[in-house]
Structure 1
Amino acid sequence: MTTAEAYARFAGREVRGVSPAYERLSRAVSRDDELLALLDGLPPAKRQPNLLFGVVRWLGGPVEDPAAFHDYTLTNWTTIEAQVRARATQTNEAGRCAVLLPVLAALPQPLALLEVGASAGLCLYPDRYAYRYGEHRVGSGEPVLECAATGLAPPARVPEVVWRAGLDLNPLDVTDPGDVSWLDALIWPEHEHRRARLRAATAIAAADPPLLIRGDLVDDLPALAARAPAGATLVVFHTSVLYQVPVPRREAFVRLVDGLPAHWVANEAPEVLPHEGLPEPPEEGLHNVLALDGRPLAWTRGHGQAITWFA
């Protein structure tokens, strides 16, 4: 896929109808030969729209107007390029816990959670958030994670979590204002509800920080998994992470996690982690597949806003 095609696809599948600013911007970049030439000088993994747009937002540049974005990016490319090369899209969306909850709540309790690609670890607190599936509410407190659920009865309670740990090549620190500002910059411009959710979730994590280990998802996973307490159900999970992992390492990870004494919960795009015999997704746009131990269960939306159960 060319860089132009990747930006057009981002506009049509990921942000269409949910971020007008990024839809306009990504379509404009897909037709902008000057910006495409700059992007093509980057490694393929560093050309993605979320990363470029997040860096420009983090630097205080304009993302609402494509013409202003074009001028700003050309003028400041040296600074932008350095940040793009140094950073990664570590969108730490606590809302994804809403689509993980039905699986986590049904496993033998208590749980030891190990997240691969944990970023700042905000998805390691499914027991601390509240949820609303239509009229059905689970848990208490803030933030309240809204999720449209189809085809399943929402869980009756939150899981019991006795251990939480994360593995990431570049873990972020919720007590570091600079790291939190990067997480904020990765949220799409119009999504003020997600900014409020980020503030509430980071407050929870900062009050009881998780164990976050800097490491590789293949080389360092077994040692971290071995630190989980006996008597708890170990759950290794990840959501919208594997697209950043080269295919050979992705395949090595799947072989590794499949052999661990743990349940494996994956929430990834179907082209990233394929499954046979999937039904059609419920609507246009980008959907992930929620799977338990390699068995696909449901379609989910990227920020946890909807789940459609088909298992």
Structure 2
Amino acid sequence: MSTAATYTAFADREAHGVSPTYERLSRAVAADETLHRLLDEVPEAKRQPNLLFGVVRLLGGPVGDPEAFHDFTVRRWAEIAAGLRARATQTNEPGRCAVLLPVLQSLPQPLALLEVGASAGLGLYPDRYAYRYGDHRLGDGGPVLECELTGAEPPTRLPEVAWRAGLDLNPLRVTDADDVAWLDALIWPEHEHRRERLRAAAAIAAADPPHLIRGDLVDDLPALAAQAPAEATLVVFHTSVLYQVPEPKRLAFEELVRTLPGHRISVEAPGLVPVGKLPPAPDDALHNVVALDGVPLAWARGHGQAMSWFADRR
């Protein structure tokens, strides 16, 4: 896909109706041949909108004015290009736990949670957050994660977590100010509620830091999974991670994860996990597929704000 098409698709399917600032900026970048030439200097995987916008924001650049964004990006391109090459979109959105919870509560308790692509590990605390599905609230902790759930009854209990660990090529630390600043830069401009949620979730994680391992999702996963207590149900999960993984490595991961005990929950874009035939998505926005052990269950929006269940709940 060309750079122009990538930014147009981001504006149409991800930012539209969610972030007017990023929709406007994405359309401007899509039409900006000067920025295309600069972006062509970095690998294709490093040209994605979320990464570019996050790096510019981390450097103090403007994203609300496309013309000012253009000038800043051209002027500071050497720093921006270095940031693109060094960083990845490690959006650590705790709101995604709201689409994991209906699946987690159905599994034999207690659970041993192992997140692949864990970033700072904020997805490893589904038992510590509170949730609101419409008028139904669950949990007394904070932050409160809100999700519009259709097609299924809301969860009725929090999971019992006996062990939690994460694997990431570059794990971030919630106790490191620079790492938290990068997580903040990845939150979209208008989403102050997500920024507040990040701070609250980071405080929970900092009080009981997650066990995070720097490693590869194929080479290092078996050894970490082997550390899970035998009396707990191992749950390997990943959300919006595999689009950053080259296809050969992704296929090797698919083969490997099927050999592990326990269960696997995937929340990924269609086509990244072999889950068979899918019903139509609720609308034209980008939706991920929630699947348990390769069986598709529901559609979910990228930040966990909505979930449309379509599987039989027998």
Q: What's the TM-score once normalised by structure 2's chain length?
A: 0.98
Q: Secondary structure at the match of 1:141?
A: coil
Cα deviation for residue 273 of structure 1 reads 2.2
Q: Secondary structure at the match of 1:217?
A: coil
Q: 1:283 matched to which residue of 2?
A: 283
Q: Secondary structure at the match of 1:300?
A: strand
Gaps of 5+ in 2: none
Q: Deviation digits for residues 73-119 of structure 1, max 9, x if unmatched?
A: 00000111111111110000000000000000110000000000000
Cα deviation for residue 275 of structure 1 reads 2.8
Distance in 1 of aligned mates of 2:243 and 2:261: 25
> What pairs up with 1:227-246 in 2 under 5 angstroms?
227-246=227-246
Gaps of 5+ in 1: none
Q: 2:26 matched to which residue of 1?
A: 26
Q: 2:177 matched to which residue of 1?
A: 177
> What pairs up with 1:91-240 in 2 under 5 angstroms?
91-240=91-240
Cα deviation for residue 274 of structure 1 reads 4.1
Distance in 2 of aligned mates of 1:37 and 1:237: 37
Q: Which amino acid aligns with 1:249?
A: K
Distance in 2 of aligned mates of 1:48 and 1:260: 32
Q: Deviation digits for residues 141-173 of structure 1, max 9, x if unmatched?
A: 210000000011111110000100000000000
Q: Secondary structure at the match of 1:106?
A: coil
CA contact (8 A) 2:148 2:307 kept: yes
Distance in 2 of aligned mates of 1:191 and 1:274: 32
CA contact (8 A) 2:151 2:308 kept: yes
Q: Secondary structure at the match of 2:63?
A: coil
Q: 1:39 matched to which residue of 2?
A: 39
Q: Deviation digits for residues 167-202 of structure 1, max 9, x if unmatched?
A: 000000000010000000000000000000000000
* Runs of 4+ more than 3 Å apart: none
Identity %: 74
Distance in 2 of aligned mates of 1:84 and 1:285: 26
Q: Which amino acid aligns with 2:133?
A: Y
Q: Which amino acid aligns with 2:136?
A: H
Q: Provide the aligned length of Structure 1 versus Structure 2.
A: 311
Distance in 2 of aligned mates of 1:153 and 1:213: 35
> Structure 2 vs 1, CA of residues 27 and 274 (structure 1 numbering), >3 Å: closer, same or farther?
farther
Cα deviation for residue 258 of structure 1 reads 1.0
Report the aligned-residue RMSD. 0.6
